[in-house]
Amino acid sequence: MSKQNIYLIGLMAVGKSTVGRTLAQRLGYDFYDSDHVIEERAGADIGWIFDVEGEAGFRERETAVLDDLTRLEGIVLATGGGAVLRAENRAMLAARGTVIHLDSPLQRLLERTEKDKKRPLLNTGNPAETLARIAQERNHLYAEIADFRFVTDRQSPKVLARAIESCLHEQRVI
C-alpha cells in the first residue's frame, strides 16, 4: 500500500517547516522543504533569486521543484507561502496528496518575522501592511485546495504535529 503524501501550505512563518519536520518524524516519512530544495538546486538563496530573476523566475523554479517532489511517495512537504499563486501548483498539490493549511493570526506572524531579513516580500516599508495584503491575496487559494486546516498560534510544533497525525488517522488518510 502506498503512503499518502502530506503537503503543508500557508503564509510565511506559519510553521510549515517546523511542524512538517516533526510530523514527518512521527509518520516515518521523508521531509522536504520546497524553498530549501530550490536554494540547493540554484546554488543561491531565495533573496538572491528574487533579486536576479525576480519573483517570476523564482515561481518558475518553484513549480519545477513542486512537480518533482510531489511525484515522490511517502513525504511531508512544506511549501513556500506563495506556491498556491499558480493554478498549476494548486492542481498538482490537490491531486497528488493531502493538503493541510496551517493558519495563524497575522499579529503572531508579524512577531515571528520581525527580525527575519530572509523574506524578500517583507523587506518593505510596512511589513504589517504587506503581510495583510499577502494574506488577503492567498487565503482563498489556501482554502480552495486544503483538505484540512489547523491554526498555529501558541501551541508547540509537537502538539500541532500530534493533532494533525490524529486527524489524518481519524479520517483514514494514513
pLDDT recorded at residue 29: 97
For residue 48, being part of any structural domain is answered with yes
Please check the confidence at residue 40 and state whether its pLDDT lies above 90: yes
Domain count, the chain: 1
Render pLDDT for 59-100 as a digit per residue (tens, 0 to 9): 999 999 999 999 999 999 999 999 999 999 999 999 999 999
DSSP-based three-state secondary structure for 154: coil
In-domain check, residue 165: yes
67 within a domain of the structure (yes/no) = yes
What is the domain-level CATH number for residue 49? 3.40.50.300
Does 81 map to a domain?
Answer: yes
Report yes or no: 46 and 118 within 8 Å, Cβ to Cβ.
Answer: yes
Task: Quote the CA–CA distance of 6 and 8 in Å, as a whole number.
Answer: 7
Which residue segment(s) compose the domain that 42 sits in?
A: 6-170
Report the chain's mean pLDDT, rounded to a whole number: 92
Unique residue bearing C-alpha cell 521531509? 31
pLDDT above 60 (res 1):
no
**Per-residue model confidence as pLDDT tens digits over 102-161:** 999 998 988 887 766 666 556 667 888 888 999 999 999 999 999 999 998 888 999 999
Cβ distance 99 to 9 under 8 Å? yes
Return the residue matching grid coordinates 511542524. Answer: 19
Considering the entire predicted model, what is its pTM? Answer: 0.94
pLDDT score recorded for residue 122: 62
